[in-house]
A and B are shown apart, each in its own frame.
Chain A
Amino acid sequence: MTFYEQEIRRIRNLLYSNQFQIDTVIATKNFIDGNSEKDLNLNLLSKILFTSKYHLQRLFKRHYGLTPKQYLINIRINKSKELMKKGVSVTETCFAVGFESLGSFSSLFKSRTGRPPIQYIKEQLSRSN
């Protein structure tokens, strides 16, 4: 066994002894992955996972570095890019991936990719031409 693998095992024992907690956050992430276009919120997630919402939020952030909401937004933004690459309009994309308003979609898209959705579509068009 390499030094690296020994260290991995040592750190795993130090940090990840509570498998139940890890299973809970992984189940939360899988649920978000499979339902990202639906109306998800912390209340719903905590009910499904039988845990308190603040505990779940803390656990999720500790393991994935993001809150469930931030994670959900990133998933939706990534999906929106795929749709717009295929030629779907901004409005249609916005609602298809689960955002409730064009305004929030545009500002969240811009904050994460550096440009608004319409600019992204123009870039994709000029790339394919």
Chain B
Amino acid sequence: MKVKIVSVSVLDQEKALKFYTEKLGFIKKKDIPLSEGNRWLTVVSNEEPDGTEILLEPAPNHFEPSKVYQKALFDAGIPFTQFDVDNVDEEYKRLVERGVEFSMNPTVMGTAKFAVFNDTCGNNIQIVEEL
């Protein structure tokens, strides 16, 4: 077995594609039209173009429990997933300059530093640096 894809549920695929590519700097990998306007839409890190793909899937719009779960996590400030960065402070600064909103500023806990931002599509995303 191999890990090739991880899912991130999003409320709006087109908006998510813009955010993940234009704000975060990811690259669109696959965009396959499916029925009823849905897409098989994946992005990858520009630092790891052959790495694991993120599937931006519109689950919350088609399955009520998914929407409830996503909203509960979001309201509590809990990250849906996390991405590794080399330097949280620099990434935080870069993203704030691009208008990204953070619900938790860079915070150290033990041997890790992290921060949490809003992906504008229903999720909190955490960035992490191992100290």
Contacts and interface: CB of A to CB of B under 8 A. Distances in A.
Chain A bound to chain B: yes
Interface of A: 2-5, 8, 11-12, 15-16, 22, 25-26, 29, 63-64
Is the contact region of chain B dominated by helix, strand, or loop, or is it mixed? strand
Contacts of A11: 109
A29 B111 contact: yes
A4 B110 contact: no
A5 B104 contact: yes
B78 interface: yes
B66 interface: no
Contacts of A64: 111, 130
Nearest to A127: B50
Contact of A2 (B103, B130, B131): B103
Contacts of A22: 110-111
Interface of B: 76-79, 103-104, 107, 109-111, 116, 124, 130-131
B102 to A, nearest CB: 11
Q: Which 6 pairs, one residue from A and one from B, show the smallest C-beta to C-beta distance?
A: A2-B77, A4-B77, A3-B76, A16-B110, A12-B109, A63-B111
A12 B109 CA distance: 6
Contacts of A63: 110-111
Contacts of B131: 26, 29
A22 B112 CA distance: 10
Contact of B109 (A2, A3, A16): A16
A2 B102 CA distance: 11
Report which residue of B77, B79, B103 has the largest number of chain A beta carbons within 10 angstroms of its beta carbon: B77
B76 A2 contact: yes
11 contacts: A2-B77, A2-B78, A4-B77, A4-B78, A4-B79, A4-B124, A5-B77, A5-B103, A25-B111, A29-B111, A63-B110
Contacts of A12: 109-110
B109 A8 contact: yes
B104 A2 contact: yes
Report which residue of B78, B79, B104, B110 has the largest number of chain A beta carbons within 10 angstroms of its beta carbon: B110
Contacts of B109: 8, 11-12, 15-16
A63 B112 CA distance: 9
A5 B111 contact: no
Nearest to B73: A4
